[in-house]
Amino acid sequence: MGVSDERVQAIAEGFQGAGLVGKGWYAALDALAQATGSQSGELIGVGSDAAVPFNIMTNVDADFKDEFVASGGGDPARNPFVRAGMAAPVLEVLADYDCMTPDDYKRNTWYQEFALKRDVPHACLCTVARQPGMVIGLAVVRNRREGPVTPEQRAVFAAVAPHVRAAVQTQIALENNGESILKAAFDGLSMGVFVCDRHGRVRTMTPAAETLVRPGGLLGLRDGVLVLYASRGDGGRVLSDAIAAAARSVSGLGTPAMSTIVLKDASAGSAMVLEVIRVVNAEHEFSFDPRVLVVARGLDDNGSGRLARVARKAYGLTEAEADVAVRISLGETPTEIAEARQSALGTVRMQLKAAMSKLGVRRQAELVGKLARL
């Protein structure tokens, strides 16, 4: 029995709002799969480096997507369906024999070791969008019992595909606007925030951040990349390494990974703390490059400014304990602090120990991170 025009229209309408609801893509893809008599509906992003930044797929077990990636499923050199889809014009609908030769069915390693073993040997697919470094594909995936897609089912898929393309383009536009939304939110707090990609390239920044990358400061922009100009033994790699680490981080709880960098420029008498934070993508986001925030907080060099006041109030530190704690967070050693405060080294160590106890930390690195959050 064929699929009515009304049902095709209903499926198309389901895709129109898919990107605006957390699980909207799953419901819309499942409706397409059912209308074409297929096991699964799929919307997948495949990168130019064979990475799979997202794979929204219905009716598969928890391990399927990980096994797909591990098998090289995103590699056009291994997966003939991906190879054909990436080469075809946008919205050109392909099925089994458009993607695979008779020899592929017998000799293709990926098909034999993954598609057949996982009972997903048949598909109908098309490319719905091309982005820099990524192709987004739509597919319905079928098992042995369902067999190759029929002409009628292929026609349903072809009728819905343009609506999926429109929905994908809408979500891409919304996600691209996300950087502006983040910037606007931090603008309201007058914070120095840089929104970067995984390479440290600044996509947008707040007005307060713009003042930090002027000549003579601790930070700068080199070919659009946020760089560290402070005098450091690591040549400034600490910032680029932290951004790269944040971009790679994955949090199962949806909590961004964060690292803290303390900068001190003795010649200029200035210091700041940088927090490098991964903005975790939702499962249904299409972003290929992770967004990384670099939040800059200025500090008074002598430790008697805002941070020391907040530390005293928040954790009950004495004035001396707060001063020692802030100086440690700025990279001074206990010996240097003792000389600056004209105190005994043993006294400084006791004050540091007391401050760490009140802050509930055991290591100086934890102390730095906790103070940076104030």
Is the domain of 158 the same as that of 224?
no
Q: Are residues 18 and 157 in the same domain?
A: yes
CB pairs under 8 A, 24+ apart, for 25-34?
A: 25/56, 25/284, 26/56, 26/58, 28/164, 28/167, 29/56, 29/57, 29/58, 30/58, 30/59, 32/140, 32/156, 32/157, 32/160, 32/164, 33/58, 33/59, 33/140
Residues 94 and 39 in one domain: yes
pLDDT digits over 285-343, tens only? Answer: 676 566 788 888 765 444 445 667 777 877 888 888 888 888 887 777 888 888 888 88
pTM score over 0.85: no
* 119 and 73 assigned to the same domain: yes
Q: Which of 175, 198, 213 is the last residue of a domain?
A: 175
**Domain finish residue from 128, 146, 175:** 175
Please choose, from the candidates 166, 202, 200, 206, the residue with its C-alpha nearest in 3D space to the C-alpha of residue 182.
Answer: 206
User: Number of structural domains, the chain?
Assistant: 2
Looking at the structure, do residues 194 and 302 belong to the same domain, yes or no?
yes
For 247-299, what is each residue's pLDDT tens digit? 776 433 344 456 777 776 555 455 677 888 877 666 566 765 667 888 887 65
Same domain, 169 and 277: no
Same domain, 153 and 183: no
* CATH code where residue 40 lies: 3.30.450.40
What CATH number is associated with residue 247? Answer: 3.30.450.20
Answer yes or no: is pLDDT of 121 > 90: yes
Within this chain, do residues 224 and 123 fall inside the same structural domain, yes or no?
Answer: no
Last residue of a domain, one of 175, 206, 238: 175
The reply to whether 116 and 169 lie within a common domain is: yes
Residue with the bigger pLDDT between 200 and 185: it is 200
Domain encompassing residue 299: 176-372
